[in-house]
Structure 1
Amino acid sequence: MTSTATIRTPSSAVVVNKIGHGLMSMTWQVVAPKSDEECFETIKAGVDSLPNGVKMFLNGGEFYGPENHMTANLDMLSRFFEKYPDYTKKTFLSVKGGTKANERVLDGSAANTTRSVNAVIERLRGKKKLDLFECARVDPKVPLEETIGVLAEFVKEGKIGSIGMSEVRAETLLRGHKIHPIAAVEIEVSPWEYGPEQQAVIKAAKENNIAVVAYSPIGRGFLSGEIKKFEDIPETDLRRYFPRFHPDNFDKNFDIVNKLSAIAKEKNVTPAQLSIAWVSSLGDHIVPIPGSSRKDRTLENLAGNNVKLTADDLKQVNEVIDNATFVGNRYPGDQKAAFLWG
């Protein structure tokens, strides 16, 4: 039986597949985004693999596109739902926004939050309801009450289904939840990103019936083991800019891949499936959203839902994680500028 999770919106409890689908890589490329044909085939394959009545959690973004077309992700989704209207009822669409128009500059003001939500709705062209909206980061210059207050009005008016938060500490999540019920919180969780911050958010979310949307559960593909050296990363791949992939750090960080791969081999699953299953095991309210722009990779990721980890399996994985040492920051450049753990 397919494992599921529940997203509790103000109007209903939505049953989604325990593993969702991150769509960023489809359109945010150094070079041209993937073709509609490839994107559509990938999304459809994932949704079609689910039982009737279980929705796929799709995660998109207002700014998931190249500099000259930042709304590429939304435009692609609009075309998808226009071509396949039956899939509107089979999917739960979450979109991150909250940056200035056509910029990746954070602005949580009431005016820009209003602009961002309206822009997302406009780009979707009525082809799919915005089930959940989340500001990508918390703007430290703007009171949380102002930002969430605007989003609460959109929920009240029925223009969005629910509110999410992203890259926040447990304390911030609880503050936001007091202003208006938060349906989901999105944070990075994987075998190489599971520290006190993640654990606190997961616990607080559990206690308050908030879903945890876990992005990059395979460490941006690093933990899949398919990239064995820096040179394996295509020159047009954004991961070349992430510190943990840099040549000076790559080999040191690869030790955890070797150890997880050995455990995965014993279970006859892929390292990616093992990582996804481990993240999923952290709670029945957790929805890993591995990103993929390929049909075969998406189906492999979703098959992680069928991986059952025994107590001994979890002990082995946890021992690897507890003894691992990682070199390099989560994001390129100034980590404060990335507004992590707002």
Structure 2
Amino acid sequence: MQTRTLGNNGPKVSALGLGCMGMSAFYGAHDDTESIVTIHHALDRGLTLLDTADMYGPHTNEVLLGKALKGRREQAFVATKFGIVLDPNDPSARGVNGRPAYVHAACDASLKRLGIDTIDLYYQHRVDPHVPIEETVGAMAELVASGKVRYLGLSEASGATLERACKVHPIAALQSGFSLWTRDPQSNGMLGACRRLGVSLVAYSPLGRGFLTGAIRSPDDFDADDFRRHSPRFMGDNFARNLRLVEQVKTLAAGKGCSPAQLALAWVLAQGDDVLAIPGTRKRSRLDENLGALDVRLSVAELEAIDAVFPLDAASGGRYADEGMRMVNA
């Protein structure tokens, strides 16, 4: 397993991690038994970075991961997140809470659900616009001092916010959507800020929520409760235009002798040794396919060919609806 270092002086973790969100939420039907077997298979293959959040489920994904970790805690580097608050009466309504008291309460609840004593990497899931980042990160730093958390991270924070946060406590990782069709961190200054500050970028949805694998051919491929049915990139004309991009991925992958998923992941990892990726899957076969990306080496010429097909604004439609987009790069 290839490893990469989180931050300037952080731990070494697997270059590819496992995003666990889809095992419990947002992508339709799921099977906890198969998910746990997949997590165990990931650990067996040497994958260490496991990513979850308290709002996945909500809460049930942390419980699931906790069950999978029993007897295997030392093999895993556990990342979870706090801050997105769901309305129990309206699952589509979301708020953000970065108040210090909430930070402490959320951490204690996550530790209990996960069944562990220490969270390896604790992210603020989204920046609270009503609470100075210094106050939120200050509370997170208290968790480190108390031994409840080892390293701190932010998710979808702007470069300016990240810089302010780093003045309070070292930030090991900044998580953001980053893939062939989501190149925002390169265009909005986020990746540049990470490099100035010695922060690793952890790419979630590096496979474009599964679209870049080539397996999705129609909106009807989604379950009725799959949130992608309502995501701008998967709707109407955007779907058709983005499907043409996927055909380009398939062509490039065929020329390289790898799968589209492997090409897409290899591209993300080729953006720098300070970039990691956490593709999600519920199946062992897909996990093995993803890990095959570690053996794909892209030359300068191949990277230039990929960039020609996927410029910064290649994808049609926002990666979230308007409300969700207001919560990124904050």
TM bracket (short chain): over 0.9
Correspondence for 2:109 among 93, 98, 119: 119
**Distance in structure 1 (CA, Å) of the matches to 2:62 and 2:324:** 27
1:48 is the counterpart of 2:40: no
Q: 2:5 maps to which residue?
A: 6
Structure 2: which amino acid aligns with 1:7?
L
Cα pair 2:133 2:165 within 8 Å, conserved: yes
Q: For residues 218 and 137 of structure 2, what CA distance do their matches in structure 1 show?
A: 43
Q: Secondary structure at the match of 1:330?
A: coil
1:167 and 1:340 in contact (8 A); partners too: yes
Aligned to 2:16: 19
The answer as to whether partners of 1:100 and 1:112 remain within 8 angstroms in 2 is no
Structure 1 counterpart of 2:96: 106
2:262 to 273, 282, 289: 273
1:131 & 1:194 partners in 2: Cα distance? Answer: 27
Q: Which amino acid aligns with 1:248?
A: D
Matches within 5 A, 1:178-193: 178-193=167-182
1:76 aligns with 2:68: no
Q: Which amino acid aligns with 1:91?
A: A
| Counterpart position of 1:175 | 164
Output aligned runs, 1:110-259, within 5 Å: 110-126=100-116, 129-195=118-184, 200-259=189-248
Q: TM-score, normalised by structure 1?
A: 0.89
Indicate yes or no: 2:77 matched with 1:92: yes
Q: Distance in 2 between matches of 1:57 and 1:198?
A: 27
Q: What secondary structure, in the 3-state scheme, does the structure 2 residue paired with 1:163 have? A: strand
Q: Is the deviation greater in 315-324 or in 179-188?
A: 315-324
Q: 1:176 to 1:327 in 2, by over 3 A?
A: same
Deviation at 1:327, TM superposition (A): 2.1
Matched, 1:285 2:278: no
Other structure's SS at 1:131 match: strand
2:294 paired residue among 267, 285, 305: 305
In structure 2, do the counterparts of structure 1 residues 205 and 286 end up closer, same or farther at CA, with 3 Å as the change threshold? same
User: Does the CA contact (< 8 Å) of 1:95 and 1:133 recur in 2?
Assistant: yes
1:39 to 11, 35, 41: 35
State the Cα deviation string for residues 7-55 of structure 1 (Å, max 9, x = none): 248xx732111111100000114755422x20111111122112xxxx5
SS in 2 for 1:179: coil
Count of aligned pairs between the two proteins: 325
State the distance in 1 between where 2:257 and 2:278 align.
22
Identify unmatched segments of 5+ residues in structure 2: 89-93
Which sections of structure 1, spanning at least 5 residues, go unmatched?
A: none
Paired with 2:230 and 2:59, the residues of 1 have a C-alpha distance of: 22
Amino acid at match of 1:61: A
Aligned to 1:249, the other structure's residue is in SS state helix
| Residue 264 (structure 1) shift | 0.2
User: Pairwise CA RMSD of aligned residues?
Assistant: 2.0
CA contact (8 A) 2:127 2:156 kept: yes
**1:142: how far off?**
0.4
Paired residue secondary structure (2:139):
helix
1:80 deviates by 1.4
1:202, CA displacement in angstroms? 1.8
Displacement of 1:299 in angstroms is 1.3
1:199 offset after TM fit, Å? 6.1
Indicate how the Cα distance of structure 1 residues 259 and 100 shifts in structure 2: closer, same or farther if over 3 A, else same. closer
Deviation at 1:259, TM superposition (A): 0.9
CA-CA distance at 1:228 after TM superposition: 1.3
Decide whether aligned partners of structure 1 residues 88 and 8 sit closer, same or farther in structure 2, where only a CA change above 3 A counts.
Answer: farther
| Aligned equivalents of 2:121, 2:312: Cα separation in 1 | 37
Is the 1:61–1:74 contact (alpha carbons within 8 Å) kept by the matching residues of 2? yes
Change (3 A) 1:13 1:31: closer
Aligned residue identity for 2:53: G
Query: In the alignment, residue 206 of structure 2 is paired with which amino acid?
Result: P
> Structure 1's 317 and 43: CA in aligned 2 closer, same or farther, altered over 3 A?
same
Question: Following TM superposition, by how much is the alpha carbon of 1:275 offset from its aligned partner in structure 2, in angstroms?
Answer: 0.6
**CA 1:32–1:322: 2 relative to 1, 3 Å:** closer
